[in-house]
Amino acid sequence: MTGSNLILASTSPTRVKLLTNAGLKFQAEAARIDETHLQRQHEKLTAEPLALELARAKALSLSALHGDAVIVGSDQTLELDGSILHKAESLEAARAKLSQLRGKTHHLHSAVACSQGGKIVFEHVSTATLTMRNFGDEFLDHYIEAAKSEILGAVGCYYYEGRGIQLFEKVEGDYHTILGMPLLPLLAFLRQSAIVQA
């Protein structure tokens, strides 16, 4: 199958890189959803089903525009003590969030869904459990100064694949799940469906 028949419903550099590094040929196109509105619409959902609902919505948002192409939607939620935390809108908010997360264990729920012809044909959710070390305020200030506004694009205000790794003392779960897409289950589906070579 050619890249025009596999579409990632995202222009996230991290997700684009994950699929590119896996050797997939695909197009990347921003999902046509209002994520904030959807989160409000599904405010009663817990973190894991919310991630899946958002992934489904992203995949379906492009499905009608691309015939029989397989559309890949993906999303991630962060859960701390049973509550869902969202992206920070400022460095001050990022500092407050990281202060809230330090010394504690949180969960990242990463979902992927594939649509074809306006229907969901595959979905999967994976969870990673991460424990931040109890770092001091001086380290936190240094981290935010070094990372700057790039951390505002990540739900946990860290990029695990970069300097964000220094925030943690223990991690359980798949690397790709932490980055925001359960890649191995997705690849298994694409091979099973003969979308990529087995």
Are the beta carbons of 7 and 26 closer than 8 angstroms? yes
Please tell me which residue, 159 or 140, carries the higher pLDDT value: 140
Spatial separation of the C-alpha atoms in residues 175 and 114, rounded to whole Å? 21
What three-state secondary structure class fits 153? helix
Q: Is the pTM here over 0.85, yes or no?
A: yes
151-196 pLDDT per residue, tens: 888 899 998 998 899 999 999 999 999 999 999 999 999 999 888 8
Query: Who's near 74: CB < 8 A, 6+ residues apart?
Result: 8, 9, 10, 15, 55, 58, 110, 111, 112, 113, 180, 181
Average pLDDT for 103-117 = 97
Q: Which CATH number fits domain 3-192: 3.40.140.10, 2.60.120.330, 3.30.70.360, 3.90.950.10?
A: 3.90.950.10
* Predicted pLDDT at 71: 97
23-77 pLDDT per residue, tens: 999 999 999 988 778 878 888 899 999 999 999 999 999 998 998 899 999 999 9
The answer to whether residue 78 scores a pLDDT higher than 60 is: yes
Positions marked catalytic: 75
